[in-house]
């Protein structure tokens, strides 16, 4: 849900992920934990959905109109947890970077698990997470600077 940002898409993806896992259970190797194997399937499915969504938004902007729906309790909680500053920073990240950060922070996955999920060395994942965190900090600072500038600029316009 946090990665896809839409409850219906998340429910559909969860069904697809479990079907894919069921169909692929013979390919599971006991070298990794079952949860990591399942997260790997989920991670790839969500990234594919996000890529597809971005493709649709670029090619079909006039045909694609998201429906206005009442916020779910989870959406209300998320909107209270995330400041506009943090949302600005998270939305500036690529889908892959955002999903890694979500898996690390919200899902509390270890670097070893993230390495298994992304087929990367745990140390490489750790470095990438640190770079992502730095990007988020920079974007949050940028948001703050833009907000301050806009506030001071609008007060100048009011005086003139």
Q: What is the pLDDT along the chain (160 residues), one digit of tens a residue?
A: 777 777 888 899 999 999 999 999 988 888 878 888 888 888 888 888 888 877 666 655 544 445 555 666 656 656 655 667 777 787 888 888 888 888 888 778 899 999 988 889 999 999 999 999 999 888 888 877 776 666 665 555 555 4
Long-range Cβ contacts of 77-84 (<8 Å, 24+ apart): 78/2, 84/143
Q: How far is CA 157 from CA 10, 90, 98, 146, 148, in A?
A: 44, 31, 37, 16, 14
Q: What is the reported pTM?
A: 0.52
Distance CA 117, CA 38 (A): 8
């Amino acid at each position: 849900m946090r990665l896809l940002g839409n409850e219906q898409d998340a429910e559909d993806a969860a069904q697809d992920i479990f079907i894919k896992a069921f169909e692929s259970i013979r390919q599971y190797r006991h070298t990794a934990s079952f949860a990591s194997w399942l997260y790997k399937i989920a991670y790839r499915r969500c990234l594919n959905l996000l890529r597809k969504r971005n493709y649709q938004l670029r090619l079909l902007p006039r045909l694609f109109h998201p429906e206005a729906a009442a916020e779910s309790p989870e959406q209300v909680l998320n909107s209270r947890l995330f400041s506009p500053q943090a949302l600005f920073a998270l939305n500036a990240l690529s889908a892959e970077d955002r999903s890694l950060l979500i898996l690390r922070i919200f899902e509390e996955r270890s670097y070893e698990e993230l390495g298994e999920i992304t087929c990367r060395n745990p140390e490489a994942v750790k470095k990438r997470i640190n770079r992502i965190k730095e990007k988020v900090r920079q974007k949050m600072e940028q948001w703050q600077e833009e907000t301050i500038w806009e506030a001071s600029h609008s007060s100048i316009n009011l005086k003139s």
